[in-house]
Amino acid sequence: MGSRERRVVFVTIGTTCFDALVKAVDSEEVKEALLHKGYTDLLIQMGRGTYMPSKSPLAELYFANPLLVVFIKMTSLFDHLRSLYKFSRHLCDKYLQIKNSKTITLVLSATLFIADYIREASLVISHAGSGSIFETLRLGKPLIVVVNEGLMDNHQSELAEELADRKDLFCARPQTLQETVEAMDLNNLLPYIPGDAKQVVTLINKFLGFPVD
């Protein structure tokens, strides 16, 4: 039997602190929803957050059926694993053969090479920063944007919701991420066309609170 296709979910927090999103993705309910959608791997870039899933101390492997979870906070170890992992089958299949786990979760604190991971992902779950949003859309990847409701002046939610209305992405909050994953149909997303300057300007003006013609 051949190895099954890897379908990676990449979660990016950027350089911000968004522990609520990391906690939501780490929940058994969201992991199970992703498994049911056919995703095989979960890779989390943590930004400046302090939350680490309670079942694993720093850089320790633990086995939690059906997940093999690897948590990494050290950049040097991240760089080493990156050279092995690269979203190929080498690292994943090695562990899958050992424990017959369904997925591997890799949590990263470093912010290097984010575009590389977005490019190789089957689904991206991102904070609502405009840079992460437009980079993911530019690379043509399905995207769930999770709005940080802890921000005082949250114009980011307006941008995410506008793009969701245009069917460029899905929009969620940490507490609604599970139902968003369960309900999402990637066939309903429309291709993002970055060359349409007028639409981009309109979105930016609306995002900044400027009048829109």
HEC profile of the chain: CCCCCCCEEEEECCCCCCHHHHHHHHCHHHHHHHHHCCCCEEEEECCCCCCCCCCCCCCCEEEECCEEEEECCCHHHHHHHHHHHCCCCHHHHHHHHHHCCCEEEEEECCCCCHHHHHHHCCEEEECCCHHHHHHHHHCCCCEEEECCCCCCCCHHHHHHHHHHHCCCCEEECHHHHHHHHHHCCHHHCCCCCCCCHHHHHHHHHHHHCCCCC
pLDDT on residue 33? 93
Residues 105-118 have pLDDT tens digits of: 555 554 456 788 89
Decide: 45 and 8 in contact? Cβ < 8 Å.
Answer: no
pLDDT on residue 153? 59
Decide: 120 and 85 in contact? Cβ < 8 Å.
Answer: no
Residues 145-185 have pLDDT tens digits of: 999 988 755 677 888 998 999 999 999 999 999 999 999 99
The domains found in the chain, sorted by start residue, are: 8-208 (3.40.50)
Kindly report the number of other CB atoms within 10 A of residue 139's CB atom: 15
In the chain, which stretches have pLDDT less than 70? 1-4, 53-113, 152-154, 195-213
Cis upstream peptide for 211 (omega within 30°)? no
Give the separation between CA 34 and CA 42, rounded to whole angstroms. Answer: 9
pLDDT on residue 63? 34
pLDDT on residue 208? 61
Assessment of whether the complete model's pTM goes beyond 0.85: no
